[in-house]
Structure 1
């Protein structure tokens, strides 16, 4: 029975991601973000449970990536699509009249927002690579998809809850969003070693980077709220690069 516990948690991740997709389509970014956070929590929990119960399996690995493909692949791509749509003043209203959506002659799909879906493609490529790479046990190559998802999800949350005109203008600048999309696609698959938050023991000496990072994350979240998320992702990359240099 215990071997099914991690897979059940993975399926909860997939369920949360699927619900988040529905909310993104309905332009409810707050509810979508809530289910993304829940999905990422279950994603962490399934790996933790598999290690503690010693029931890691090839099925669990594949299922985990399939769930991540939705929660941490499709959802951020759709959110970026929606944000880019706002920069060109396209209508995001959902037409519930089925018959009105069957005429392809009236179908208008703007090209620029589709660039956001490149995040979904880059996430799929990263997840496939991760499944084949046997080296990424204590570290990651490139930014993990959940971290990238948190970065993208933070944008509408910053606009909603911190409502700063200057920051909002930056977020809704199409060139900023295009640049962030391209950077996101690159960093997901970059050959850069980033430390993983996996503790083999509790000693500070062997986990100094992890402990310092967690403490800084807590401080930043208290001070900056949702605006802390992009800063935390940047901090994560910088600390990993510094760690790589010092280890050499």
Structure 2
């Protein structure tokens, strides 16, 4: 019976991701983000449960990646598609060469927002590669898909809850969103070694980087709220690079 518990948690991740897709398509970003957070929560604890119950399996590994493909692959792609769509006016045109449209069966489809779906493609490639890479046990190579998803969904949450004209102007700039999309795709499949938040013991000395990172995350979220999430992702990358230099 216990061997089914981790897979049940993984399926809950998939369920949350599927619901998040529905909300994201309907422009309900807050609800979509809530179910993404729930999905990532289940994603963390399915692996934890598998290790504690000693029921890790190849099926669980494959199922986990399939669930992540929806929650942390398809959802951020759709959200970026929607954000890029906001840079296109009601006629489907923008102010430069990105104004090309395609009419498919009377459905007007602006080309620019489709760039957001490259995040989904990059996520799929990373997840497939992750399953084949036996090295990534104590660290990640490239940005994990859940972390990248938190980065992407933070953008509409910043707009919704912090309502800063300056932040909104930056987020809704098409070149900013294109740059974020390119950066996201690169980070997902980069060779940068990033530390995993897996504690082998509670020792501060052995986990100094993890403890400091968690404390900085908590302080940043209290002070900056959702605007802290992009900073936390960059901090995660910076501290990982610093940790790599120290270990060498």
Residue equivalent to 2:139: 139
SS in 1 for 2:206: coil
d(CA) in 1 for partners of 2:178 and 2:24?
19
With over 3 angstroms needed to count, the CA separation of the structure-2 counterparts of 1:72 and 1:90, relative to structure 1, is farther
Cα offsets for 1:204-241 (capped at 9, x unmatched)? 01000000000000000000000010000000000000
SS in 1 for 2:109: coil
With over 3 angstroms needed to count, the CA separation of the structure-2 counterparts of 1:59 and 1:105, relative to structure 1, is closer
Residue equivalent to 2:36: 36
SS in 1 for 2:140: strand
SS in 2 for 1:109: strand
Q: Deviation of residue 108 (structure 1)?
A: 1.2
Residue equivalent to 2:46: 46
Residue equivalent to 1:107: 107
Residue equivalent to 1:221: 221
After superposing the two structures, state which structure 1 stretch, 82-91 or 134-143, moved more: 82-91
d(CA) in 1 for partners of 2:45 and 2:91?
38
Residue equivalent to 1:184: 184
Residue equivalent to 2:127: 127
Equivalent runs, 1:192-231 vs 2, <5 Å: 192-231=192-231
Residue equivalent to 2:157: 157
Q: Deviation of residue 90 (structure 1)?
A: 4.3
Q: Deviation of residue 117 (structure 1)?
A: 0.1
Instruction: Provide the aligned C-alpha RMSD in A.
Output: 1.2
d(CA) in 2 for partners of 1:219 and 1:109?
42
TM-score (norm: length of structure 1): 0.94
With over 3 angstroms needed to count, the CA separation of the structure-2 counterparts of 1:185 and 1:104, relative to structure 1, is closer
After superposing the two structures, state which structure 1 stretch, 103-112 or 152-161, moved more: 103-112
SS in 2 for 1:140: strand
* Runs of at least 5 residues in structure 2 that lack an aligned partner in the other structure: 93-102
d(CA) in 1 for partners of 2:3 and 2:247?
37
* Runs of at least 5 residues in structure 1 that lack an aligned partner in the other structure: 93-102
TM-score (norm: length of structure 2): 0.94
d(CA) in 2 for partners of 1:158 and 1:167?
8
Q: Deviation of residue 88 (structure 1)?
A: 1.0
d(CA) in 2 for partners of 1:238 and 1:130?
22
Q: Deviation of residue 106 (structure 1)?
A: 1.6
Corresponding position: 1:6 with 2:6:
yes
Cα offsets for 1:174-208 (capped at 9, x unmatched)? 00000000000000000010000000001001000
Q: Deviation of residue 91 (structure 1)?
A: 7.8
d(CA) in 2 for partners of 1:232 and 1:166?
20
Residue equivalent to 2:97: none
d(CA) in 2 for partners of 1:81 and 1:245?
37
Equivalent runs, 1:6-85 vs 2, <5 Å: 6-85=6-85
